[in-house]
Structure 1
Amino acid sequence: MISELANRIFDQVIADYHVHDAIDHPVENPYDSSSLEHLLYLKCWIDTAQWHMEDVVRNPEIDPREGLYWKRRIDRQNQERTDMVEYIDGYYLQKFEGVTPLAGAKVNTESPAWAIDRLSILALKIYHMAQETKREDVSHAHLESCQTKLNILLEQRKDLSKSIDELLSDIESGNKYMKVYKQMKMYNDPNLNPVLYGVKK
């Protein structure tokens, strides 16, 4: 099951990241560069680094110039995240290229990789919510609230994992088919963002 593999790798990534707990620590991907495991590891590493960038930029005492620096880094990181989703979808497009959809086959509302993207973010939510349940400097009410949220996140991961496995099984059997649209982000493109192409003139 792909979800079992993905969840295991995502948990591994988050644990690996927190050994150093440094945004700019170089990624040490243990998987063969041609494998799906490699893509999943790198995907979650990008997400984990961005998670911590988002924490930094929300410091209410951050210097505005530093805040802008982090905002721009987050924009670049988000583009890397999107690119990695497309690489993973590319893997599945190639994997299923020989499958002929059955009559009446339907397209899903999201591609397999965007569902896997949500699974990666869920792994981060689960890790950090679990950390909140272990704090000793907060009230019992805080711990109870966080444990309740953690239980919901764990249930959500279980449901999403099942849905991803079912989606891939349906695509493999021809009951559904993949239709992937490249992300047409405009704000980073100097030819599409009016502010950026206005500056060029």
Structure 2
Amino acid sequence: MGGPVEDSGRTPKVTGSVQDWTQLQIDCVRRWHDEPMANPYSGWLRWVCQQHAFNFELWHEEDVARNPSVTDARIAEVKRSIDRLNQQRNDWIEKLDDAITESIQQSSVVVAEDAPINTETPGSAIDRLSIMSLRLFHYAEQLQRQDVDAEHRSKVEARWLLCQVQHADLSASLQTLIDDIFAGRKRHKTYRQMKMYNDPSLNPEMSDS
């Protein structure tokens, strides 16, 4: 499955509300299960969609990796795909945070000297909401199954409802964070993931020597 093509243009300005971003994620999850993956958005929303696409592909590759009937060769292939997608997913978390930094600078935001830093960046929260939209979709799928008993359906429904609450809580918290950042009440930084496992110079298992 091929994900949407990355933008090669300049960093977009942050636009819209968190509700716009999360609705995009929900809509794409539904659409991509029925249609070829595509990214019809522009600007900031295109970047949110791109980051989301890596999570979508990653979710389904991890499903394959847990299938007990697949061959060892297929598992090895999927593992390499998971590593690649996870690296891209994390790279795009940073790109989202970098875009927020540029938007802050372009908006001439005056940050209070004593403004605190949040424990999680907006990019990381967008990533979590992306994964939660996938979880909500697949729990909803489970609720439609006809081959399960009432106990299974009850368990799934309880989890689906809890996921909805958590999704709403995180969405509201992220909107507050974005508002605080652009009002200068919170300080924003991009925190580099600095993954080591895909770097041949840092992972001895990837070195020829």
Are 2:84 and 1:76 equivalent residues in the alignment? Answer: yes
TM-score by length of 2: 0.88
Q: 1:159 aligns with which of 153, 169, 174?
A: 169
Mapped partners of 1:15, 1:134: distance in 2: 15
User: What amino acid is the match of 1:29?
Assistant: N
Partner of 1:130 in structure 2?
140
Q: Once the 2 structures are TM-superposed, how far is the Cα of residue 43 of structure 1 from its aligned partner?
A: 1.6
Q: 2:102 aligns with which of 86, 94, 103?
A: 94
Mapped partners of 2:53, 2:189: distance in 1: 26
Contact 1:102 1:174 in 2 (8 A): yes
Contact 1:129 1:146 in 2 (8 A): yes
- Map Cα deviations across residues 55-107 of structure 1 (whole Å, 9 max, x no partner): 01111111111101000000001111011111111110111122221132100
Mapped partners of 2:197, 2:183: distance in 1: 38
Are 2:61 and 1:53 equivalent residues in the alignment? Answer: yes
User: What amino acid is the match of 2:62?
Assistant: E
- Where structure 2 has 5 or more consecutive residues not aligned to the other structure, the ranges are 1-15
What is the percent sequence identity of the aligned residues? 34
Partner of 2:180 in structure 1?
170
Mean Cα displacement is larger for which, 80-89 or 148-157?
80-89
TM-score by length of 1: 0.92
- Map Cα deviations across residues 19-69 of structure 1 (whole Å, 9 max, x no partner): 14xxxx5x321112xx11101111212111111101011111111111010
Mapped partners of 1:43, 1:179: distance in 2: 18
Partner of 2:18 in structure 1?
3
Q: Once the 2 structures are TM-superposed, how far is the Cα of residue 110 of structure 1 from its aligned partner?
A: 1.4
Root mean square deviation of aligned Cα? 1.2
Mapped partners of 1:126, 1:45: distance in 2: 16
Mapped partners of 2:189, 2:48: distance in 1: 21
Contact 1:48 1:124 in 2 (8 A): yes
Partner of 1:17 in structure 2?
32
User: What amino acid is the match of 1:68?
Assistant: A
Secondary structure, counterpart of 1:177 in structure 2: coil
Mapped partners of 1:15, 1:157: distance in 2: 17
Contact 1:17 1:45 in 2 (8 A): no
- Where structure 1 has 5 or more consecutive residues not aligned to the other structure, the ranges are none
Partner of 2:121 in structure 1?
111
Contact 2:30 2:137 in 1 (8 A): no
Q: Once the 2 structures are TM-superposed, how far is the Cα of residue 11 of structure 1 from its aligned partner?
A: 1.2
Mapped partners of 2:191, 2:144: distance in 1: 42
Mapped partners of 1:185, 1:156: distance in 2: 28
User: What amino acid is the match of 2:93?
Assistant: V
Report the count of equivalent residues.
192
User: What amino acid is the match of 2:162?
Assistant: I
Q: Once the 2 structures are TM-superposed, how far is the Cα of residue 181 of structure 1 from its aligned partner?
A: 2.1
